[in-house]
Homo-oligomer: A and B are copies of this chain.
Amino acid sequence: MLTKEELPVCPVATTVDLIGNKWKLLIMRELLKGTKRFNELHKAIDGISQKVLTENLKKMEADGIIVRKAYPVVPPKVEYSLSELGDSLRPIIDAMSDWGTNYIKENLM
């Protein structure tokens, strides 16, 4: 969680601190499609380990970007979804997706 003291008061740096790494961006991409269970995320994000996924989900939950909902059932069921704040990041991920799509088209086909 960012506090007023340690937050760099710069718009880009602020955003970077919240989602500016590979795994968080890929988690965002999945959750923008809708609510997902832990294992769905694990399978959808290529190369991520259970540990790293858990760690990033915790950070993002602490930052208020995602919401974790655990159902008291056996076997356990946990769902992750975007908070309102998280969903407001949609334009950024969309922009990255659009750019990547175009890049692939231009450079790799």
Residues on A close to B: CB < 8 A?
Answer: 4, 7-16, 18, 20-22, 25-26, 29, 46, 85, 88-89, 91-93, 95-104, 108
Contact = CB atoms under 8 A, between A and B. Distances in A.
> Which secondary structure dominates where chain A touches chain B?
helix
B15 A26 contact: no
Contacts of A108: 4, 7, 9
Given A20-B22, A21-B20, A11 B101 contact: yes
Contacts of A100: 10-15
A16 B22 contact: yes
Nearest to A101: B11
Nearest to A85: B103
10 contacts: A4-B108, A7-B104, A9-B108, A12-B26, A12-B96, A13-B46, A16-B22, A16-B96, A89-B99, A95-B95
Contacts of A101: 11
A11 B9 CA distance: 30
A34 to B, nearest CB: 16
